[in-house]
Amino acid sequence: MAKIRKITTISILFCIIVSCLCSLQAKPIDIRQAEQLTTEFLCTKIQSVVSHNVDAINIYYTNSPTSQRNLLFIQKQLLEDYIISYASNDYTIEKVEPRVKINETLFDGKFANIRATLTADIYWNAANPLGNPIKGRKVEEHLLLLKNENDVWKIEQDKFQTKKGSSVELTRESIADLHEQIRTLKFQAEKALDKARKSKPSKLTPETPEWKMSDLYTPRISQDYNRQEVYNWAYNHWNNYSKEYLNFGDEKWKGGDCTNFVSQCLRAGGAVNDKSGAFQWYYDKKGTLASTNDTYSWTWSTARGLNSILSGNHNNEEFGPKATQKVISGDDQYDTSIGKYVVPGDLIQYHWNNKSTITHAAVIVGMIYNSSKFRYEPVIAEHTEDSWFTPWTNNAYKTYFVHITGIN
């Protein structure tokens, strides 16, 4: 009997040990934790443009070289595209209201691929405000690769698109160079923020919706260009991409659709295909919905091409959309004369650095009156980095303010 008890006890202990081992081996990875981290990261990222603390996102990344490059790229984006660009024009972001939608989650062992959309209402104002903030909106599409290490999820890579390019294309520099760039940008950010804090108190007032009938605009606009329809198209499609046209981003996180969107706005304003002469501009549909069989000119889809035909048609008095332009270097060259020169329905194009060319385009959808500077300042809508009613300021090497003088 004692022998039987001994065997039984050993058997029970063996079963318990095996059960524990199996339990450890079979412990499932918690999907919710990966998705929760993604949501927390994207919210923290956009909240950092209010706190000005871009280091707040560091805790979400692994220590691998790929991960660290990606982290530094995002810090660079936050400093350049938000903190410095807003502060350089004496603006500040008072508040953001982010929302994250998890679109797809795929697991492969210790890795997770998550597609997510970050939508953020951005409340921006004068650095020393005398009135209510202006509400803008940003939408970003992200494809994140997460890695599980010791039951903790961390980001290995975040693929997404900025107006200056994709995170994949722009993270090929050495980590040492990126660290040096971040140090320089942090110094520039503090300098810009200090200047903004010392700026005069100001009230930012949006123009009324009846802008096209106001004394401010009527004497300076072409009557054949329907700027109200440009506004309507931009409002309806800044984030809800039209199925009538191809999306020039080959991935949801990889953009390249900025000029396609601007050309669509020109088409909505009345511009028709131009297939003759030296400055052609066209998009031919092969059906009701967009397809890969659609044909288009390079001037329809590229910022540099569009700029060339607008200037060319104006200078040579040719058929097709045409424009004049004023160019400034750096945001601080913006003055009252430019606020009187451009109107809603006009365009802004950007030349990021002295080693590149014009690579980004946006459409002006409104004007803000800045009471302390006694001038009008444009707000824009854009694709690639989907935006609505955000400031024109981008701290670019050169900014082109393009005034449409005619369309056909």
Q: pLDDT per residue over 364-376, tens digit each?
A: 999 999 999 999 9
Residue type for position 250: D
| Structure confidence at residue 12 as a pLDDT band (50, 70, 90) | very low
- CATH classification of 31-197, choosing from 3.10.450, 3.30.310, 3.40.50, 3.90.550? 3.10.450
* Residue 94 pLDDT > 60: yes
Angle at which helix 258-268 crosses helix 227-237, to 10 degrees, equals: 140
pLDDT of residue 174: 86
b/e sequence 45-63, b meaning 16+ C-beta within 10 Å: bbbbbbebebebbeebbbe
Comparing CA positions, the residue from 22, 86, 76 lying closest to residue 50 is: 86
| Structure confidence at residue 354 as a pLDDT band (50, 70, 90) | confident
- Mean pLDDT score of the chain: 89
* Residue 18 pLDDT > 50: no
| Structure confidence at residue 24 as a pLDDT band (50, 70, 90) | very low
Q: Exposure of 291 by Cβ count < 10 A (0-12 exposed, 13-18 middle, 19+ buried)?
A: exposed
Contacts of 343 (CB under 8 A, 6+ apart): 211, 216, 217, 220, 221, 227, 364, 367, 403
pLDDT of residue 222: 63
* Residue 326 pLDDT > 80: yes
| Structure confidence at residue 14 as a pLDDT band (50, 70, 90) | very low
Instruction: Measure the CA–CA gap between 25 and 39, rounded to whole angstroms.
Output: 28
Phi-psi map region of 368: left, alpha, beta (phi>0 left; psi -120 to 50 alpha) = beta
Contact criterion met (CB below 8 Å) for 92 and 126: yes
Paired sense of beta strands 134-149 and 152-162, if any: antiparallel
Instruction: Measure the CA–CA gap between 399 and 385, rounded to whole angstroms.
Output: 17
HEC string of the chain equals: CHHHHHHHHHHHHHHHHHHHHHHHHCCCCCHHHHHHHHHHHHHHHHHHHHHCCHHHHHHHECCCHHHHHHHHHHHHHHHHHHHHHHHCCCEEEEEEEEEEEEEEEEEECCEEEEEEEEEEEEEEEECCECCCCEEEEEEEEEEEEEEEECCEEEEEEEEEEECCEECCCCCCCCHHHHHHHHHHHHHHHHHHHHHHHCCCCECEEECCCCHHHCCCCHHHCCCCCCHHHHHHHHHHHCCCCCCCCCCCCCECCECCCHHHHHHHHHHHCCCCCECCCCCCECEECCCCCCCCCCEECHHHHCHHHHHHHHHHHHHHCCCCCEEEEEEECCHHHCCHHHHHHCCCCCEEEEECCCCCCEEEEEEEEEEEEECCCCEEEEEEEECCCEEEEEECCCCCCEEEEEEEEECC
Q: 53-67, 206-220, 258-272: lowest mean pLDDT where?
A: 206-220
pLDDT of residue 30: 72
For the question of whether the overall pTM of this predicted structure is more than 0.85, the answer is yes
Angle at which helix 65-77 crosses helix 175-197, to 10 degrees, equals: 20
pLDDT in tens, 123-152: 999 999 999 999 999 999 999 999 998 899
Q: How far is CA 150 from the centre of its chain?
A: 34
pLDDT of residue 22: 42
- Cα torsion 383, 384, 385, 387 to 10°: value is 0
Say which residue, 237 or 330, is predicted with more confidence. Answer: 237
| Structure confidence at residue 44 as a pLDDT band (50, 70, 90) | very high
Domain boundaries, the chain: 31-197, 205-406
| Structure confidence at residue 21 as a pLDDT band (50, 70, 90) | very low
Say which residue, 92 or 330, is predicted with more confidence. Answer: 92
Instruction: Measure the CA–CA gap between 77 and 160, rounded to whole angstroms.
Output: 11
Q: Exposure of 278 by Cβ count < 10 A (0-12 exposed, 13-18 middle, 19+ buried)?
A: exposed
pLDDT in tens, 148-207: 988 999 999 999 988 888 888 766 778 999 999 999 999 999 999 999 999 999 999 998
